[in-house]
Amino acid sequence: MAASPLVSVVMPVYNGERFVGEAIDSVLRQTLPDLELVIVDDGSTDRTAEIIAARAKADSRIVIHRLPSNQGLVGARNACAELARGEFIAVLDADDVSLPDRLERQVAFLRSHSEIGVLGASVQFVDDAGRLGRLKTFPSGPGLVAWSMVFFNSIAHSTVMMRRSAREAVGRYAPEMKHGAEDYDLLVRATRIIRLENMPDVLVRYRTWPGNMTKRFWERLEANSTVIVGRLAESRAAQPVSPEEVGALRGLARDDYPRSPEAIRRLGSLIHAMNAAFIKQPWLDARDRAAIRRDAAVKFWLLSALAARPAPSLAITLAATATHTSPTSLLMFASKIASRIRYRRRGTA
């Protein structure tokens, strides 16, 4: 058997004829050549098999495995992982594009940061016509990445590179997440045993179009994400969390905010409890703790603003909590609001 490659790029695909060729080419053109591209065809019925076979004929670094019938994304992802032989395992979905130096830069980062087991990056959105859209960044710093998981998936899955040892420690994608959020579940489990980080650099173009999984299975994905958030919130707060509170946590990531004073108060109390417990994690350093406190405080400022009209006294209490949690947080909250306003104005221009 040939020597194991440095990097295994894993790519599940099902009926991906429209974009899979571009995704494959983005891997084969990487500045880091010591790689294999493991493609699991999940029983495609379109031209996917033909397209990937043609690429494999021209480049021996491609490994193809075809499932006899459609197993679903979780089954295909797990099959990819079982076939990967590299020291590092990188994820790329079949409608996304890796920029040419992605693998080289991520390997260099992991080699110089031995404490990090899973690494993500920023993305640029691209539509089905190839038009480039906005950039999306994610939390940086292992503490903030882990803390943010209770609100949203803080690493874009198609940017993930992980050490083989980390992949083996975390285990398989969960079969019960077959309708979406399997990546979210895996990364949440990873935060319990290893450190995760995001590079600020844009290394992947993330495809947004009506045919991708996120668009087609939004309701089921959201239901699974809500389960993940509920479990994590109860673990973080060490107390029962109601479905309404879980919904409010999820809403923070979608600009769907609580309106009643009681709902605002309960969400503020939950965030306070989670923050107070989480910053006691022994592996966090001073920078991590400051970033986590600042993030929690920004959320208190948001809740204070929501409470200003219906419950002024609650707004004052939340503002005081924000200031006590992180004295420098008001400036960050104002900056976030300004950025959001600019983005919305561009979207309506």
Q: Got the DSSP string for 69-117?
A: S---HHHHHHHHHHH--SSEEEE--TT-EE-TTHHHHHHHHHHH-TTEE
Output the pLDDT for position 3: 86
Cβ–Cβ under 8 Å, residues 123 and 206: yes
Output the pLDDT for position 211: 64
Output the pLDDT for position 247: 93
Cα torsion 227, 231, 232, 233: sign: positive
One DSSP character per residue, 163-218 reads EHHHHHHH-PPPGGGTTS-HHHHHHHHHHTTSEEEEEEEEEEEEE-STTSHHHHTH
Output the pLDDT for position 219: 83
Residues in contact with 170: Cβ distance below 8 Å, sequence separation at least 6, in sequence order: 162, 186, 189, 190, 193, 194
Between the two ends of the chain, the Cα-to-Cα distance in Å is 57
Express each pLDDT in 281-292 by its tens digit: 999 999 999 999
H or E element that contains 349? none
Output the pLDDT for position 335: 84
Domains of the chain plus CATH, in order, are 7-216 (3.90.550.10), 218-348 (no CATH)
Express each pLDDT in 270-321 by its tens digit: 999 999 999 999 999 999 999 999 999 999 999 999 999 999 999 999 999 9
Output the pLDDT for position 349: 43
Output the pLDDT for position 214: 57
Output the pLDDT for position 348: 45
Q: How far apart are CA 260 and CA 264, in angstroms?
A: 6
Q: Is 17 helix (H, G, I), strand (E, B) or coil?
A: coil
Express each pLDDT in 86-122 by its tens digit: 999 999 999 999 999 999 999 999 999 999 999 999 9
Question: Which residue numbers in the chain have pLDDT < 50?
Answer: 348-349
For the whole prediction, is pTM greater than 0.85? yes
Q: Identify the residue whose tokens are 């495995």.
A: 65
Among 10, 5, 303, smallest CA distance to 173 is for 10
